[in-house]
Amino acid sequence: MSPVLAALGKIFQDESILTEAADLIHYGKDRTDQYEPAPLAIVFPRCVEEVQQVVRLANQIGFRIVPSGGRTGLSGGACATRGEVVVSMERMNRIVDFDPLDRLVRCEAGVLTATLQSFAESKRLFFPIDLASAGSSQIGGNVATNAGGNRAVCYGMLRQWVRGLTVVSGAGEILYLGKGLKKNNTGYDLMQLFIGSEGTLGIICDATLELVSPPNIQVALLGLKAFDQVLELFQYCQEHLRILSFEYCSAAAIEQAQKEISSHFPLEAAAHYVLLEHDGLRRTLEDVLQQWYTRQPDTCAVLASSRRQAIDLKRWRECISTAIASAVPLKCDVAVRPSVLSAFFEDLEKLAEDFADWQLVLFGHIGDGNLHVNWLPGKESGHQQVVSHQRQLLQDRVYELVIKHGGAIAAEHGVGLLKKTFLTSSTDGSIVSLARQVADLLDPNGVLNPGKVYS
């Protein structure tokens, strides 16, 4: 038995360590599905102290750790490819505390996002973050990636709702950060450093999150002729509605979604589609869209009149990722300011002309300026080697456009392994150096998530 496994055996009972080949594959990868999983073992701590013990052991005898949540990540952050020990948080899955006056819930890292959503509902409250992966992603993973999702246009990203964290740093120290306070200007806000750090600075053991009053959600799906109309509609809705989400799907994206959905698409064909949620009365949404229609009579629209219909309409947007997965698309999750989207979109269309074998499938959280730019290789793309070469070229060209338009090459899915090279080559050297110094302070022996983000 390897010395690392022998030492882990002193912390964890047999049922909390897995080393079978099938388990190593299962827990060694995320949804990117493009990195060969090769961890040494998977361990399942049940409390903060066990997390601390495994991190301290890693520092003492020199092995590397991959913190692991629901492995729904899309940037390879939870992939273990080089004999690391995967620390899975799935058995730390209790909702520990709830206070209705503070509207705060403290939950362990392994609580599923959907479980927290249901818990909030049972208390007549609402967890502001919603992702299509909510059934599998975990709160720890959501915090570690600073998840965005459909409603960031209204509620912001997850960091806005985190009021406290318990973290084991890479040095093996337990840190209690945040105190559950909304207002706390006592020195530097170190808690924020861990949010979005993708498991490179510390392992999040629990999070205290703020819940809000439940919105009165009304859903509409609209078809529009021109991309600029999508942006005009966004501005118009911002002025007249309380927008909870404003999601975009290109015609190509809806065509792909149709592979997942057996019923007919409920609108006439259009070039662009918007799925929006309004918090308020259905009547208000109807009136506002009616007025919009007098300005843009070529718009087509359908409004949900029941919760069931709302779910059905939203499915057209939510299933796109799954619908295109088998084509192994090049996925670029990027953001620019909404005012720059039109110019960025034009450049993407020109780029699509240069890569005519690839199909551009665009969708995303357009209200935040966040587009998921997906490229599907065509059947004519040729030999595997040519496809990978083109994939690299295409990716570089997309990121160059993003930089040109002052945007972010990682909008909400993080950097992980996928964007690491581009991150370090496109970021000011002094910022990269400062980020590495921060990581060295919190994880002096580099035991956490090696090879990811800045490391």
Ligand X SMILES: Cc1cc2nc3c(=O)[nH]c(=O)nc-3n(C[C@H](O)[C@H](O)[C@H](O)COP(=O)(O)OP(=O)(O)OC[C@H]3O[C@@H](n4cnc5c(N)ncnc54)[C@H](O)[C@@H]3O)c2cc1C
Q: Which is nearer to ligand X, 86 or 351 (CB)?
A: 86
> Closest separation between CB of residue 156 and ligand X, Å?
12
Q: Which is nearer to ligand X, 270 or 276 (CB)?
A: 276
275, amino acid identity: L
> Closest separation between CB of residue 319 and ligand X, Å?
9
End-to-end CA distance of the chain: 30
> Closest separation between CB of residue 132 and ligand X, Å?
4
Q: Which is nearer to ligand X, 103 or 317 (CB)?
A: 317
Dist CA 2 CA 435 (whole Å):
34
> Closest separation between CB of residue 323 and ligand X, Å?
10
Nearest alpha-carbon partner for 119 in 106, 131, 109, 132: 106
- Is residue 383 classed exposed, middle or buried when 0-12, 13-18 and 19+ CB atoms within 10 A define those classes? exposed
Q: How would DSSP label each residue in 50-119?
A: HHHHHHHHHHHHT--EEEESS---SSSTT---SSPEEEE-TT---EEEEETTTTEEEEETTSBHHHHHHH
> Closest separation between CB of residue 80 and ligand X, Å?
9
Which residue sits closest to ligand X, CB atoms considered? Answer: 141
Q: Which is nearer to ligand X, 12 or 236 (CB)?
A: 12
Q: Which is nearer to ligand X, 133 or 229 (CB)?
A: 133
> Closest separation between CB of residue 340 and ligand X, Å?
21
DSSP structure class, residue 188: -
Dist CA 78 CA 30 (whole Å):
6
Q: Which is nearer to ligand X, 109 or 348 (CB)?
A: 109
Q: In which element (H, E) is residue 435 found?
A: helix 429-442
Dist CA 165 CA 140 (whole Å):
10
173, amino acid identity: E
> Closest separation between CB of residue 167 and ligand X, Å?
8
Contact residues for ligand X, defined by CB under 6 A: 30-31, 66-74, 77-78, 89, 109, 131-133, 137-138, 140-142, 144-145, 147-149, 198-199, 203-204, 321, 412-413, 416, 449
Per the listing, tokens 């490819």 go with 81
Q: Which is nearer to ligand X, 145 or 395 (CB)?
A: 145
Q: Which is nearer to ligand X, 118 or 291 (CB)?
A: 118
> Closest separation between CB of residue 30 and ligand X, Å?
5
Nearest alpha-carbon partner for 334 in 425, 265, 259, 423: 423
DSSP structure class, residue 170: T
